[in-house]
Each structure stands twice: as C-alpha cells, then as structure tokens.
Structure 1
Amino acid sequence: MSTGPIAFDASLWDEPTTGIGLYTRCLASALEAQGLSLERFGARTSGEFPRGALGRSGYVMARLPVDLRGSSARLYHALGNFNLPLTRLPGKAYVLTVHDLLPLTMPETVSAAFRWQFRLWLTRSLMLADRVVCVSASTRKALVARFPETAGRAEVVHNGVDHVVAEPLDKTGEALMHTLALPRDFVLYAGSLDVRKNVGLVLDALERLRARGRQVSLVLAGQSWFGSGPVELRVERMRAKGFDIRPLGYQSAPVFYELMRRAAVFVFPSRGEGFGLPPLEAMHLGTPAIVSNAGSLPEVCADAAPSVGPEDAEGLAALLERLLDSPAERRYWSEKGRRRAAEFTWKRAAEQTLTVYEAALRGLDAVRDRAPRARPR
C-alpha cells in the first residue's frame, strides 16, 4: 500500500548525537532509501517543521498538533520513548518507538523529575499509539509486563549497525590519537558513565588484575550523565595510584570508531539496556566484546561475545586476562562478532518499520470505513 508522506519526529536532529539521535538519522536515511517521503517535525532549525526557540517538550505539547494539522501526512512517528502529542488528531495514525523502560525498571538511574515525566507521558502515549515499535524483544517484554494492553500493538524491530564506518581521521583526530600514545593492547569502554552502565565493575576488575601483577590500560570514551559523579571520582583516585585509565569524554564519530577499531577488547558490563548498540558497533568493526548477561545484551550479542554477570568482577577480570593474553582467541571472537553484527542492518529495520506503518494506516482506514456516513438530503 502507499503510505504517502510520513511525519517524522526529528526533535534530536540538530542536537549532539545520542543513541536516539543516531537511531533517528539512520532510520530516516534507510526509510528514504525505501522510497518513503519524510517530513521532519521538531528539529531545532532544519526540516519542514522546525521548532525554533521552543524546547522539545514544549514543541510537542504546544505546536506539534498545529503543524500536523497543516501536513498531508496521515501518520506521525515519535521516536523518543514517550513523546507523542497528548491528544488524538482526526485522520492521523500514531506510531511510537520505545527504546527501553529503564526509568521505570531502574528508577535510581534517572532523576525523580524525569522519572515522573517518563511514566506519565509514556502512559498517555501508549493510550494513543496505534502501533509501538520496540527495539528488542527484551524491551517488548518489559513493556507488555507493565502495560498488558499493548501486547497486540507492539512489534520488535532491531536497530541496524551498518552505519559504522572506520573513516580516515582528520588532522585534529590524528593529533589526538598521537597524543594519547595508546599501547598496543588496550581495553575500551564507550558510553556514558552513569550507574546503569556499571563502569565500576570494570574498575573492580582492573584492581583485581593489578593485585595479580597485571597492569591493564583502560580508555573511557563517554560523557558524564546522571549519577556519573562517583565513577569519575573513583577514576581520579585510581589514576593517582598509578592505574592507566584515560577518560576522553565525548568524541566525534571518526575518533570514536577508530578507538573501537584499535582496541584489543571492548567491554560493556551494563546492568540494563534496551538494545545495546556500542558492543554491536565494536563487533561490526572486528573488535571482540565482553558484555554482561543483563537486559537485551544476550539477545543482541547472542553467542558472539563472552559474557559475565553484572556483579562478577572476578569473572570479568579472568575474561580480560584471557583475551589480552591470546591473540588467537581474540581473532575467534572477532570473526564471530562480525558475523553476528552483519545480521543487523538499517535496511532491514526500515523494511520492518514500513510494515508497522502499513498496519497502523490500515487500522486508520478501518476506523474511517466504520464511521457512520451522513445521509444525502
């Protein structure tokens, strides 16, 4: 069926790239490659309906409904977990992507204000959504457990990972890599430093390895986030004691992926993920990844990455030591990781998302067809 133009949530389009922002851009590009026409709503300055000086929430509540009424698009896709308009617009179908329910399942990892916003707005959005896209079966299971009424409307559409390209570095990136003077076999963690990501387990493992006479170099590529203070303080204390830990903060995509490509091992012991893109990105680049067995990570990484429990510092230390000592084992996990990552493409995500759009529009048409028609006079 012809969907016509799609009204597409672009609220993170002009912002620094986050996980949802990356999802937005990659999915948009893949949908357009399928021949869909997208109208971008709510970007700061770009797209057909920019929000200007309004904040993202203010735009959705105040002006998005007006902009949607002025569009010929029959379907609006909100991409940010809970950010559908608060009211139903006649003649418009709604699709919502839910990445995770972590503010509800792990409330200590977000602020109280955000937790309340998330719960209330998500509840309202799920009442209005014709279809819900969940980025993993793990997310869908958590969603249906808390909102059983969504069971018949929620579909799993995995993210892709083929956006990852090891691009040549510019002069600034080359200078940074030269300044870092990274050892040949370093361990990389990439992501935010909040409590949910469980970076403390990596630090525990490093302390155990040092107690056995093994110094491991750790690079941290990720920004501060809610609750990251204790990890940052601990890193500084360990550095003062001679641990080789290099916190780099947020990095541009070329540097980020170059670090992944050069790392001997990528480590990601998160306590909970809706999807878990960073380890899959590392696997795509051929870097063996060690992950936790929590959340969606077993689903996404399957048997292509060794795993440990999120409390198992000794197990993580043993895995790190084993992989760092064995180039052959690293090659084994590298090959398995590449094969697994090749299964996740944005083309496939776009095809499955298009199927969700078509189902939502069929439902919209069915409601229209059932509506009583005025009798001719």
Structure 2
Amino acid sequence: MQIVINGSFWPQPSVGIGQYLHHLLPWLHRLAPQHRYAMLLPAGAALPAAPVGIETITVKISGPRQIAKVIFEQIAVPAIAARLARNGQPTVIFVPYFAPPLRSRLPVVTTIGDLIPLLLPAYRGSWLVRAYMALARRAALRSTHVMTFSNFSRSAILNYLGLPPERVTVAYLAAGEQYRPAADRAAAQALVAARYGVHPPFIYYVGGLDERKNLPTLLRAFALVRNRHQRVTLAIAGRALGRDPRLFPDIDALIADLDLGAAVRRIDVPVADGPLLYQACTIFAYPSRYEGFGLPPLEAMACGAPVIVSDASSLPEVTGAAAIRIAPDDIAGWATAINRLLEDEALRDDLSTRGLARAASFSYQRTAETTLAVLEQVAGERAHLRKAVR
C-alpha cells in the first residue's frame, strides 16, 4: 500500500498539527514498514528532516501564499498522488488537518481535530476564511474516512457534518516523550526562577490567549486567591496572535483592573523549556471552554503537575479522574479549587500520581495503530471494489 501524506504542517513542529505529524509519522513506518510513505511538502519553507522510511516530494507553487495553499491542497496533492498510484499498488491520501481535496480519484482519509471555525462565532474570520472553511466542510463530506482526537469531537462531526458513524474514528493524541517529571523538582524550580523570575508557589497556564481559552475566569479567580495567598504567582505563557478584541481579549487591561500587576508574570517559553514549566509549577490551570482534545493538561500531568481543568468539551474525557474539574464560568469554584490545592500537599501529591498514570495511558503508538487500521481498511475496500468492477 502507498500512503501519500499532505505535509503542509511538517515545517511547523511547534504548532498542534505539526506536533501531531512529527509524532505520528515515525510510528507509522515503525509499525508497518512494508508500506510506501510519500510526504508532499510545499516548497520554500525550511524543512526538518523526514523520519526514516518517509519519502519527501517538494512541490513548488507560485502566487500569493493563501492561493498557493489552496492550490497545493486541492490540486497538487490529489494530482501527484494519482501519478504515484500508477504502479498498481493500492494508494490512500492522508490529510492530517481539515483541508481534504474536494475531488480525488483516490480514497482520502482526513483528520479533523475540531470544528471550531465552523461552530464558534469569534473564530469564523473574514469572508475568505469562511469561504475556505465552506470548501473544507464540503470536501470532508467526500472523504472516505475521517479521523479525530476525541469522542467529543467525533460527536460534533457526526452532528454538524452529518457523516455516518462508521466513517468517523477516534485516535487520541498523547504527550511527547520529553514530557516527564523532573529528576530534581527543586532544581527545576530554581531554573524557572533564574530564567523567568517566577518563584514557587506558582500557578501556570499555557495554551493560547484566544477567546475560548477563558483567561478572564482564571484571572478573576486568581484575584480571589490572592486574598488568602499573597505569595502565590500566576505565570501566563505566550502572546496574543492577533489584535481582534473579539478573538483576543485584552488580558493586560484586565490584569491592571484587578490590580494583579505584581502577581501575574507574562512570559515567553521556548519549545525546549515547555516541560520545565510544567515540572516546576505548583498547579497547572486550564480554564478553556472548548477543546477538540486539550493537549496542555495531558502534558502537565505527564510532568507530574497537579491539574485543574474546565468541566467542558473534551477535557473531562482527556483528564478523567486525574484532575479537578470546575465549570468554566464558576469563578468562585475556580478560586476554591486553587486555594484547596495550594493548602493541601497530600491532595497535590495524589493528583500528581493519578495524572502520571492517566498520561501514560495515552501513546502515539496507539494513535498510529488506529490510524494504520483505518488507512489499511480504506485501501482494502478500494482494492476490493476495483476487483469487483473488473
């Protein structure tokens, strides 16, 4: 079997779909080296080395970036895959994000992590974005099979896109191997203090500053916590990726309004230091209202951090009984949970132990096994259909 992969996100290993690809592809070849894997890449970007057993084919497309992107997804990927299929081997196109081709002679397996641009008003964007998503939605209906990252997202896909249940499969994500507890937690905390000026005890948040992430609830709860715990700090990693106030609330203004300027640290954390902050924090808090999966809480648990999450969307499914769950808009509830964890070391230790076990139950080997099963099933069905037609 040949698997032709849309590798648009391969040059971006720090973003969600890029991480997914970088973890998934090595396992695909490791589990099934008998297949041929060809990854199609847009020309022009600095390309990380491909995993062993993955052939790369660079595709040069001229024109404005957004137009070239659509041409690559809708024309180049299915056309090149069709050329590669001429040797008679069953061939499947694998598109690891929400951009399958509308027309393809070959079966297409598409990963849809979430339907946020279709379901949440603040994320619908300009008319160009809405047109692009309308195309993606129509093309997804023609995909032979759809993969997604949680049962919550699967239900959304079934309900909103109207796909039949047998064509949508869940393959959970996992924390990368670099996310593990510190060998010396005190040393990790000292390093965070030296690099970022953040001293224990501190609450940590990372995962985006856009509207659905619900940072105002965390900030208002933290203002209540500070009435009892004057020494605690809240560290917020990252910066807003845009200026639209509907999509990116002004959290700096809210920090000032709540008189938290001395207690909140805004930090930029490079990818290499991602595990370090999880390892050193006293609590990891994740108040998001909507996630297709929710990787940061899982990464935090893999590093031994006690975790509080919103009791919303996919987060209960991911964290199970290994995290404290609070309704996303319950400010008093968030403050109570944070106070309780700050004051109860035994509870923090218990959550840490449960979180480590929960995180270990997810693995990219399982993600790849499920993905391979779907790809092989789709290829087998197409091959059987061709024989029947002949």
TM-score range, shorter chain: 0.7 to 0.9
Deviation, structure 1 residue 254: 2.1
The AA in structure 2 aligned to 1:120 is A
Provide the rounded CA distance (Å) in 2 between the counterparts of 1:88 and 1:162.
Answer: 33
> Does the aligned pair in 2 maintain the 1:291–1:308 contact within 8 Å?
yes
1:74 corresponding residue in structure 2: 91
Residue 369 (structure 1) aligned with residue 383 (structure 2) = no
> Does the aligned pair in 1 maintain the 2:122–2:247 contact within 8 Å?
no
Provide the rounded CA distance (Å) in 2 between the counterparts of 1:113 and 1:301.
Answer: 36
Structure 1 residue corresponding to 2:141, chosen from 120, 127, 143: 127
Deviations along 1:315-362, one digit per CA (max 9) or x if unpaired, are 111111111112211100000101111110000111111111111112
> Does the aligned pair in 2 maintain the 1:268–1:291 contact within 8 Å?
yes
Which ranges in structure 2 are unaligned for 5 or more consecutive residues?
A: 51-55, 184-189
Deviation, structure 1 residue 84: 1.1
Q: Structure 2 vs 1, CA of residues 263 and 74 (structure 1 numbering), >3 Å: closer, same or farther?
A: same
Q: Aligned with 1:8: secondary structure?
A: strand
> Does the aligned pair in 1 maintain the 2:200–2:233 contact within 8 Å?
no
Q: Aligned with 1:57: secondary structure?
A: helix
Residue 12 (structure 1) aligned with residue 9 (structure 2) = yes
Q: Structure 2 vs 1, CA of residues 113 and 32 (structure 1 numbering), >3 Å: closer, same or farther?
A: farther
Q: Structure 2 vs 1, CA of residues 43 and 220 (structure 1 numbering), >3 Å: closer, same or farther?
A: farther
Provide the rounded CA distance (Å) in 2 between the counterparts of 1:63 and 1:267.
Answer: 42
Residue 186 (structure 1) aligned with residue 205 (structure 2) = no
Provide the rounded CA distance (Å) in 1 between the counterparts of 2:357 and 2:260.
Answer: 40
Deviation, structure 1 residue 181: 2.8
2:252 corresponding residue in structure 1: 233
Which ranges in structure 1 are unaligned for 5 or more consecutive residues?
A: 169-173
Provide the rounded CA distance (Å) in 1 between the counterparts of 2:22 and 2:169.
Answer: 20
1:203 corresponding residue in structure 2: 219
Q: Aligned with 1:336: secondary structure?
A: helix
2:102 corresponding residue in structure 1: 86
Deviations along 1:238-267, one digit per CA (max 9) or x if unpaired, are 586544211123x32221110111011101
Provide the rounded CA distance (Å) in 1 between the counterparts of 2:295 and 2:132.
Answer: 22
Structure 2 residue corresponding to 1:252, chosen from 270, 282, 288: 270
2:345 corresponding residue in structure 1: 327
Deviations along 1:44-67, one digit per CA (max 9) or x if unpaired, are 454622244654333112422332
Deviation, structure 1 residue 108: 1.7
Deviation, structure 1 residue 114: 6.3
Residue 224 (structure 1) aligned with residue 240 (structure 2) = yes
Structure 1 residue corresponding to 2:320, chosen from 291, 302, 306: 302
1:58 corresponding residue in structure 2: 71
Q: Structure 2 vs 1, CA of residues 240 and 319 (structure 1 numbering), >3 Å: closer, same or farther?
A: closer
> Does the aligned pair in 2 maintain the 1:103–1:118 contact within 8 Å?
no
Q: Which moved more, 1:5-14 or 1:122-131?
A: 122-131
1:313 corresponding residue in structure 2: 331
Residue 340 (structure 1) aligned with residue 358 (structure 2) = yes
The AA in structure 1 aligned to 2:168 is A
Provide the rounded CA distance (Å) in 1 between the counterparts of 2:18 and 2:77.
Answer: 19
Structure 2 residue corresponding to 1:156, chosen from 166, 170, 174: 170
Q: Which moved more, 1:29-38 or 1:315-324?
A: 29-38
1:42 corresponding residue in structure 2: 41
Q: CA RMSD in A?
A: 2.4
Deviation, structure 1 residue 7: 0.9
Provide the rounded CA distance (Å) in 2 between the counterparts of 1:67 and 1:177.
Answer: 51
Q: Aligned with 1:302: secondary structure?
A: helix
Deviations along 1:17-76, one digit per CA (max 9) or x if unpaired, are 111111111111211221344211124454622244654333112422332223247011
Provide the rounded CA distance (Å) in 2 between the counterparts of 1:271 and 1:164.
Answer: 27
> Does the aligned pair in 1 maintain the 2:211–2:248 contact within 8 Å?
no
Provide the rounded CA distance (Å) in 2 between the counterparts of 1:282 and 1:321.
Answer: 19
Paired-residue identity, %: 28
Q: Aligned with 1:204: secondary structure?
A: helix
Q: Aligned with 2:322: secondary structure?
A: coil
Q: Could you state the TM-score of these two structures normalised by the residue count of structure 2? A: 0.85
Deviation, structure 1 residue 285: 0.8
> Does the aligned pair in 1 maintain the 2:301–2:359 contact within 8 Å?
yes
The AA in structure 1 aligned to 2:309 is V
Q: Structure 2 vs 1, CA of residues 313 and 52 (structure 1 numbering), >3 Å: closer, same or farther?
A: farther
Residue 273 (structure 1) aligned with residue 291 (structure 2) = yes
